[in-house]
């Protein structure tokens, strides 16, 4: 089978298209013929060696995909050959940049008839991340205000769509007017171009001086200080990505300064919840598939590329030009 392999850590150029033997499912596993694989920023960080957990080299990247069940181990009864499925695991070590992938049966979510396979591949990581941050972590309530970093990105657009369904007030941050317009089209109530506007002043204006109840921060770097400044009392920042690097501020000082108003920081990685509470995780997957089938959510897909163009996909993602998701098709 054709697959993309990372033989060593480094820039996008290290990605190689290789021929590998067709994998076989072991006990409790399923072989899936991949229809579409989603490209996520975690794929970039793992390839760079910038993620807290490393993978043994060489490896096949890709943490989610959609496809058709090719074969199952004898004891697997939850899915059957020929069934359309979405694939996302309880860890970031799946191998979805390939024509076929072997996964544990519990990593499989059956798809209803009519669900687009590209949408099914683009949906799991971004919508589950947004869903659990808004609900299991923040317990966001109707009428509360949420600040969304990278509002035109994958998780950003998922948070906008899910936030609108929940009746939240949404303020997006983007790096260009084009991305701002895109975020508005996804349902964001207000969008701020952080490169040309005073973010803190605009948030104060939008919220009438109240601040935001929640900031979904996928950037970190030097953004925490500003986030804390914009939080309402009892507000919190959920840090779930490091596109701008690790935090540069003294976090103890920030938390101390916000102590009197009960402001806080939490971190979130989807796989930690998947392993801690697999029942909640499975229910979340089913809920997101149901919303997708009912067309209440719709992953915006920036571009669909052949598997052989994985290098270009990673380069595009790193450039900041992507709105929504990138899909690789074997």
> Nearest-CA neighbor of 96 among 290, 313, 273?
313
**From start to end of 40-72, where are the E strands?**
64-72
In the prediction, which pLDDT does 266 show?
94
Residues 198, 202, 205, 211, CA torsion sign: negative
Residue reference for tokens 């701002």: 180
Rounded CA gap, 80 and 52, in Å? 36
In the prediction, which pLDDT does 244 show?
79
Rounded CA gap, 2 and 130, in Å? 32
| Contact by Cβ (8 Å): 310, 97 | yes
In the prediction, which pLDDT does 102 show?
97
Going from the first residue of the chain to its last (330 residues), give the mean pLDDT of each consecutive group of 10, the final group possibly shorter. Answer: 98 98 96 97 92 89 97 94 94 91 95 96 97 97 97 96 98 96 97 96 97 95 90 96 82 86 93 92 95 96 97 95 94
| Contact by Cβ (8 Å): 275, 134 | no
In the prediction, which pLDDT does 245 show?
78
In the prediction, which pLDDT does 89 show?
85
Pick the CATH number of 126-271 from 1.20.58.100, 3.40.50.720, 3.40.1010.10, 3.90.1300.10: 3.40.50.720
DSSP 3-state assignment of 111? coil
Rounded CA gap, 184 and 268, in Å? 26
Pick the CATH number of 2-123+299-329 from 3.90.180.10, 3.30.980.20, 3.65.10.10, 3.40.50.300: 3.90.180.10
In the prediction, which pLDDT does 205 show?
97
Rounded CA gap, 141 and 95, in Å? 37
Helical H segments across the chain, by residue range = 41-48, 117-122, 124-132, 154-165, 177-186, 199-206, 224-230, 251-257, 270-276, 278-293, 310-319
Residues of the chain within CATH 3.40.50.720 domain(s) are 126-271
Residues of the chain within CATH 3.90.180.10 domain(s) are 2-123+299-329
In the prediction, which pLDDT does 185 show?
96
Backbone φ, ψ for residue 91 (5° rounding):
-150, 175
Q: What is the DSSP letter of 148?
A: E
Rounded CA gap, 3 and 273, in Å? 29
DSSP 3-state assignment of 241? coil
In the prediction, which pLDDT does 52 show?
76
């Amino acid at each position: 089978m054709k697959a993309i392999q990372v033989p060593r850590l480094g820039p996008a150029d290290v990605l190689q298209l290789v021929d590998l033997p067709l994998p076989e499912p072991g006990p409790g596993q399923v072989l899936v013929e991949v229809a579409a694989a989603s490209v996520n920023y975690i794929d970039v960080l793992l390839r760079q060696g910038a993620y807290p957990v490393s993978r043994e080299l060489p490896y096949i990247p890709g943490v989610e995909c959609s496809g058709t069940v090719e074969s199952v181990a004898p004891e697997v009864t939850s899915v059957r050959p020929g069934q359309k499925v979405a694939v996302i695991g309880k860890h970031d070590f799946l191998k979805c940049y390939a024509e076929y992938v072997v996964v544990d049966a519990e990593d499989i979510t059956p798809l209803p008839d009519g669900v687009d396979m590209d949408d099914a591949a683009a949906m799991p990581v971004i919508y589950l991340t947004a869903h659990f941050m808004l609900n299991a972590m923040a317990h966001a309530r109707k009428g509360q205000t949420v600040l969304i970093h990278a509002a035109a990105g994958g998780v950003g657009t998922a948070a906008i769509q899910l936030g609108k369904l929940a009746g939240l007030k949404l303020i997006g941050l983007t790096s260009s007017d084009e991305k701002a317009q895109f975020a508005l089209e996804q349902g964001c109530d207000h969008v701020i171009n952080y490169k040309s506007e005073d973010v803190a002043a605009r948030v104060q204006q939008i919220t009438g001086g109240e601040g935001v109840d929640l900031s979904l921060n996928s950037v970190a770097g030097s953004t925490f200080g500003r986030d804390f400044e914009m939080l309402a009392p009892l507000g919190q920042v959920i840090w779930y990505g490091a596109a701008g690097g690790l935090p540069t501020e003294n976090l103890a000082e920030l938390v101390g300064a916000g102590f009197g108003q009960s402001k806080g920081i939490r971190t979130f990685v989807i796989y930690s919840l998947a392993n801690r509470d697999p029942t909640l995780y499975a229910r979340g997957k089913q809920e997101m598939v149901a919303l997708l089938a009912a067309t209440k959510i719709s992953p915006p897909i920036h571009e669909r590329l052949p598997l052989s163009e994985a290098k270009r996909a990673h380069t595009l993602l790193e450039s900041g030009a992507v709105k929504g998701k990138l899909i690789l098709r074997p």
